[in-house]
Amino acid sequence: MPATPPYTPIADIDAKLDIIEHLNQDHIEEVQAIAAYYYPDLAITNPLIIDIYKEGMLISAQVNNKSQELFVDFKLEGDLEEQVLYLAYTAMAEQGRDLTGNKKHYFEVIGKQKLTPNMTRLTLHSETPLPENYAGYAYGMILKVLNKTPLQQTVADKQQITSLTTSIKEQVNKQVKKRGNQAFLWLLKKVSSDRRQKIVKTINKDIRLYTLRSAWKSKKSDFNNQGYMDVFTHGNSAGSLWIETVNLGDIVFSRTETDDKHAHLQEGQTVLIADETAYPALAGILDFWQNDIPPHIVILSQQPLEQDYFDDNEFPVGATIHRIVSPYNQQGLKTLEILKDIESIDGVWGAFESKACKVVRHYLRNERQLTGKQNHIKGYWKATTD
């Protein structure tokens, strides 16, 4: 049913819109799960969150080829994103689905090299297809090495790993999984918001999203079976320590994978913004560039040598390149200085530090009137201190 009084509006409009746009862009599967679970008698397609209130959220969806608004009540106390994700977890648990988004993918490391002082490239081999359109495609890598084998691993060995993985998946009891999910959800509902966030953080503590820089077919393959994964390292972070342990012949693996949405860049005056963590995604987008209007490209880094990742011939003809070298906590405001001098902006893609992203996203929304469909600014990482 549609939202009607006495539902309470959210006071912080920007925070609400940030969450709505993030969920509609990056969590389509979860929004679909919510709509299907809470309205099981309806044949729902293309659900989108159109508003959030303190008591619940409003979804617009196609039902029997007609647009319909559906309201879903929140089930616990917490911040807005927690509320929505809990609804998604509940729906997926009741449907017997894996709450971890378990999509394991195994890779053999066949190459490793330094591209810049802090960018390491892994060359990976996969027994299953890598995406054709790899631009911005990311894998949630488990920060472990499954095993170490000689580089000349036999085909039989690889097939055995694949067979074993399939066998394990087939042996999982769905009913046990469902009960485990239900117990986990019961716990999340009972604890405080702070405790809940710590639990979720603990679950994901050994996972980092890394972007597939490119993918291709080897000579004897019918599909993309090899690719580059470029990893930005910084200090003693978990990902940096992991990349140091990875050697040729090792097997590394992911638990999740996700594509990137950037169809809005195909026409109009566009702006692309990336810091070191998003260089591989930006480079992938440029590999597939088709827009006849040259973009503005803002390249962020904390050290000048990191920008050597890009060769000038990688940029579209006529592109305007803006380079910012500064501490991460100044990059948002410095990016605004550039954006204010661009007369027309029709679409933006950007990925960098979370707080800096908010500064840029809110400017584009409120001052340049870019809607969520045209304003894809996402935080690739979150600073713990300023």
Span 213-228, pLDDT tens digits: 999 999 999 999 999 9
Domain ranges in the chain with CATH number 2.40.30.10: 105-170+204-258
Domain ranges in the chain with CATH number 3.40.50.80: 263-381
Radius of gyration of the chain (CA): 22
Q: How many CA atoms lie within 13 A of 250 on its CB side?
A: 17
Rounded distance between C-alpha atoms, residue 334 and residue 322, angstroms: 11
Rounded distance between C-alpha atoms, residue 34 and residue 101, angstroms: 15
Distance from the Cα of residue 327 to its chain's centroid: 24
CATH topology of domain 263-381: Rossmann fold (3.40.50)
Confidence at 194, pLDDT banded by 50, 70, 90: low
- What the block records as the tokens of 120 is 């390491």
Could you tell me the CATH superfamily of domain 13-94? PNP-oxidase-like (3.20.180.10)
pLDDT, position 30: 87
pLDDT, position 92: 79
Q: Exposure string (b/e) for 4-13, b if CB count within 10 Å is 16 or more?
A: eeebeebeee
Could you tell me the CATH superfamily of domain 105-170+204-258? Translation factors (2.40.30.10)
Confidence at 153, pLDDT banded by 50, 70, 90: very low
DSSP string over 102-140: ---EEEEEEEEEEEETTEEEEEEE-SSPPPSS-TT-EEE
| pTM for the predicted model, two decimal places | 0.81
Domain ranges in the chain with CATH number 3.20.180.10: 13-94
Model confidence at 15: pLDDT above 80: yes
**Count of all residues that appear for the chain in the document:** 386
Rounded distance between C-alpha atoms, residue 326 and residue 324, angstroms: 6
